[in-house]
Amino acid sequence: MYALQYHFVQCVKYRKKVFIDERYVTLMKNKMHEISETFEVEVINVEFDKDHFHMLFKGKPTLDIPRYINAIKTITSREIRRNYPEIQKVLWGDAFWSKSYFLATTGQVTLEMLKKYVDGQKVKRNAANTKGQNISE
């Protein structure tokens, strides 16, 4: 028996505010769920702010976490560029995601507390969107 739960945070390279378009967020979430199924990972929640995302997930003890995270970063980067080539205008070079990321086990806080926090990222992004921010900011 096991209960391995993680909080994963990934920023866009140079903290570019690209996730103000709901189409980008929808594509990312769909791809993350597809990738996670392949790795037998259960995505508990994933939400985006303008320049990063938070994901809560459960994995088996045999999960190769670096390989899983690399797959998330590589596939989502490729797919957003392929589906929305205009996004390249705000990025420098070939990188979409920052090289670094944050990953922690969620043993110190309850899953409900983390889920509330991650849900709050969507509220922040939506509030910023209503203020008329655009992708080039």
Give residue-wise pLDDT tens across range 118-129.
777 776 666 666
Q: Give 2's pLDDT tier (boundaries 50, 70, 90).
A: confident
pLDDT for res 131: 62
Question: Are the CB atoms for 51 and 11 separated by under 8 Å?
Answer: yes
For residue 136, being part of any structural domain is answered with: no
For residue 83, being part of any structural domain is answered with: yes
For residue 25, the enclosing domain spans 4-130
* CATH code, domain with 18: 3.30.70.1290
For residue 135, being part of any structural domain is answered with: no
* Residue indicated by tokens 């037998």: 40
Q: What is the pTM of this model?
A: 0.79
Say how many domains are in the chain.
1
For residue 137, being part of any structural domain is answered with: no
Give residue-wise pLDDT tens across range 58-103.
999 999 999 999 999 999 999 999 999 999 888 877 889 999 999 9
